[in-house]
Amino acid sequence: MSKGPRTAISPTREENYPEWYQQVIRAADLAENSPVRGCMVIKPWGYQLWENVQRALDDMFKATGHQNAYFPLFIPMSFLEKEAEHVEGFAKECAVVTHHRLEPDPDGGLRPAGKLEEPLIVRPTSETIIGATYAKWVQSYRDLPILINQWANVVRWEMRTRMFLRTAEFLWQEGHTVHATAEEAIEETEKMVEVYRDFAENWMAMPVIVGSKTPLERFPGAVETLSIEAMMQDRKALQAGTSHFLGQNFSKAQEIKFQSESGDIEYAWTTSWGVSTRLLGALIMTHSDDDGLVLPPRLAPMHVVIQPIYKDDSRAEVMEYVQSLRDELAAQTYANAPIRVTIDDRDIRGGEKKWYHVKRGVPIRLEVGPKDIAAGTVFCGIRNQPKSVGIERAELVATISDKLATLQQELFDAALKLREDNTVELKSEAEFRDFFADKGDTAITGGFAWCHYCDEDSLQPLLKELKVTIRCVPQTNNEAEGTCFLTGKPASQRAVFAKAY
């Protein structure tokens, strides 16, 4: 008899983290590459996760006064030309529609026909098309603020793609707001990055650092970009959400003007903020282990799966028992919602069924057979615990909500510990080079380095050489004064440096 792998996922994280990531996605049946270059298919289990992300965020957006709307998929090419930095940032990777029908090709097959007068860009982000619309809506200070969000697909023609993390088409939400004053727009920018922090930490169980992007790392056209940055298990950073204060850059490019209370005509102040299906990549890489996906309970499509174990003569008894157990569990609540319980009664081997749910990250897995029924117990496996244990049925029902809450907290704590264990302060170029030394594509090294620095531009050769980026200037716990790690000169800014996705 051949020996199987030691873990459900092969390779392990240690062996080859990038390949482990692909295999977790495959084993959990979250998504797959499509026949269209760079585009993925999000499969039902992955899409349910995204639906849960959407619902939680959407509620938070509405609670902070936003409404949803929908704007066109296409942007006329001339719109993109209006904001210089913006076009620079997006023109190099966009899908361009040039024709509006197909006709038979004399050589066989079809060919594009009906050339458009002006090419259309498939939106890579919607500042320009939404701004053009807002310019019509905004006349007076009474029309402000405009607080709108859009759930949509966007396309950026990435050459190297990776599922969820970087795909040509992805799903996201983009908030676009307009304000009468800079102060209000800045407050909005900060409010929304705080919504993202709250969501990342309390729903995804993913600790994040909130900070400002440095000028070279900002969104094209933004005055200020705030972001949340998380550490993945390979110690790389992942930017999980951004909130941009756009100043008057877009309102000037698009003529979003209003008459103020005092009667003057002024340009408005705008913001934009977004998160995408990239969050699912972050979720996978934050919690999953060498047996597959691990889901934080608040976002899990299924909290509990029950596996009935029976032979022909015990089937009726066991099924009746697990159905009543399911009903009792489903009557409990976790995080203000009913507990989501499913019975998996498929006719497949018990071991195969167990690993099916382990690999898909179901938080709690229960097994019930005739012996458990006789003993009044249930065999209970919690996704982050190495062993299943027997537990009295009444106790299980009474503690199921606590068990989910504990798991949610433990996942957060473990991720925070990983980040803290791999965060350093670096004071010199030698330390910096040592910490970020390249030890091969699949090696897990590095982490977050907090460093004072004088000048972003002068760091670029070193950062490029080591493939390191400035993630952000953190908003909290950040001493202003120190010594530049590169020049040794006094420096009044400190940032977090890391290799990043």
Q: Which of residues 282-311 bind its own copies (CB under 8 A)?
A: none
Among 5, 18, 44, 350, contact with its own copies (rule: CB under 8 A): 44
Distance between CA atoms of 369 and 318, rounded to whole angstroms?
6
Q: Which of residues 115-154 bind its own copies (CB under 8 A)?
A: 119-122, 129, 132-133, 148, 152-153
- Quick one: which of 457, 464, 466 has its CA closest to 487? 457
Three-state DSSP state, 304: strand
Stretch that binds its own copies, among 68-76, 220-228, 256-264, 280-288 (CB under 8 A): 68-76
Distance between CA atoms of 202 and 80, rounded to whole angstroms?
37
Distance between CA atoms of 7 and 15, rounded to whole angstroms?
12
Task: List, in sequence order, every residue forming a beta bridge with 227; answer none if it has no partner.
Answer: 211, 242
Stretch that binds its own copies, among 5-13, 64-72, 202-210, 479-487 (CB under 8 A): 64-72
Q: Does position 279 bind its own copies by CB under 8 A? A: no
Separation of CA 290 from chain center: 21
Three-state DSSP state, 19: helix
Task: List, in sequence order, every residue forming a beta bridge with 172; answer none if it has no partner.
Answer: 152, 276
Stretch that binds its own copies, among 31-39, 320-328, 435-443, 464-472 (CB under 8 A): 31-39
Q: Would you tell me how many other CB atoms lie within 10 Å of the CB of residue 425?
A: 13
CB 466 within 8 A of CB 494: no
Among 5, 18, 98, 324, contact with its own copies (rule: CB under 8 A): 98
152 or 426, CB closer to its own copies? 152
Q: Does position 69 bind its own copies by CB under 8 A? A: yes
Q: Does position 91 bind its own copies by CB under 8 A? A: yes
251 or 469, CB closer to its own copies? 251
Q: Which of residues 99-118 bind its own copies (CB under 8 A)?
A: 99-103, 109-112, 114
Q: Do the bridges between strand 469-474 and strand 209-212 make them parallel or antiparallel, or are there none, so unpaired?
A: antiparallel
Q: What is the 3-state secondary structure (H, E, C) of 379-397?
A: EEEECCCCCCEEEEHHHHH
58 or 456, CB closer to its own copies? 58
Among 28, 49, 56, 75, contact with its own copies (rule: CB under 8 A): 75
50 or 435, CB closer to its own copies? 50
Among 24, 27, 163, 171, contact with its own copies (rule: CB under 8 A): 171
- Quick one: which of 280, 269, 268, 267 has its CA closest to 241? 280
Q: Is the dihedral of CA 408, 410, 411, 413 positive or negative?
A: positive
**Closest approach of its own copies to the CB of residue 76, in Å:** 6
Among 1, 4, 6, 35, contact with its own copies (rule: CB under 8 A): 35
Interface ranges with its own copies (CB under 8 A): 32, 34-36, 39-44, 46-48, 50-51, 67-81, 87, 91-103, 109-112, 114, 119-122, 129, 132-133, 148, 152-153, 155, 157, 169, 171
